[in-house]
Structure 1
Amino acid sequence: MFFASKIIAKEEIISYTNITVIDGDTVKFNNKKIRLHGIDTPEIKQLCKNTKNENYKCGVKAKLALINLINNNKIKCLIHGKDKYKRLIGTCFIKNLNINAWLVKNGWALAYRKYSKDYINQEIWAKKNLMGLWQGEFLEPWKWRRK
């Protein structure tokens, strides 16, 4: 489990299961779009290679991982501020489970070092254990977006 530690939040938003998963690192509820803090997942149109060197829609897989994790649970997000697209930036939880950390540790997100060092250990673990994206080949989402 990943627990909240030293998270400084400006506000707390609680959802009562009416959650829309936009992509692997963005959710929407209570008319607010929240970008998950400190992580980056493949884009919906992004392709990666699996263990058989076949293309698969890794952005879709990351989104499905988040959908399956949330699975009608109530989530709480601690909001840190806004990004350049005016989305709220948040660390989100199901009870005490840090969703951001879970996505990285399960290999469906990368630690977004440009903005945070919070999830580097989870990324190292996922890579070592060949979790999610780490089972094959992929381009980091921030590099893929620049293509």
Structure 2
Amino acid sequence: MVSPGSSLGTALLILACLTARGARAQDLARQATVIDGDTIEIHGQRIRLNGIDAPESRQACPGRNRKEYRYGQKAAVALADEIGRATVTCRQTDTDRYARIVATCFRRRADLNQWMVRQG
């Protein structure tokens, strides 16, 4: 048994703390489900794409000729098409006020956050 006051005990305690902290910041990598143009879900965990704010999927916005257009739905479909069935890896950058992970997410090596911004 290692005594807590020993240098080995201290080193093990520090290692345990660092490991626990690393586990919280660990990348999530699995197949994703698109919720909206700025939110995905991986294994039951909602993830907000960092630096993006897209209309909600059901939100209608005025378009050309005063006709309502579902820009949010279009954004969600575009993101879902880009992801396809590929594994998505997300690197947490923050947590939002709704306790969702805020992250930069990748399909293979392609940054999905940047891709969405480039798509407009």
Normalised to the residue count of structure 1, the TM-score between the two structures is 0.60
Structure possessing the higher relative contact order (Cα contacts under 8 Å, 6 or more residues apart):
1
Corresponding residue for residue 29 of structure 1: 42
Whether 1:13 and 2:47 are equivalent positions in the alignment is no
**Unpaired segments ≥5 residues, structure 2:** 1-24
Runs of 4+ displaced beyond 4 Å: none
C-alpha deviations, 1:68-109, integer Å up to 9, x for none?
Answer: 1111011110011211000001100011211011111101xx
CA RMSD of aligned residues (A): 1.5
Whether 1:91 and 2:104 are equivalent positions in the alignment is yes
Normalised to the residue count of structure 2, the TM-score between the two structures is 0.73
Identical positions, percent = 36
Greater fraction strand: 2
Larger radius of gyration: 2
**Unpaired segments ≥5 residues, structure 1:** 1-9, 108-147
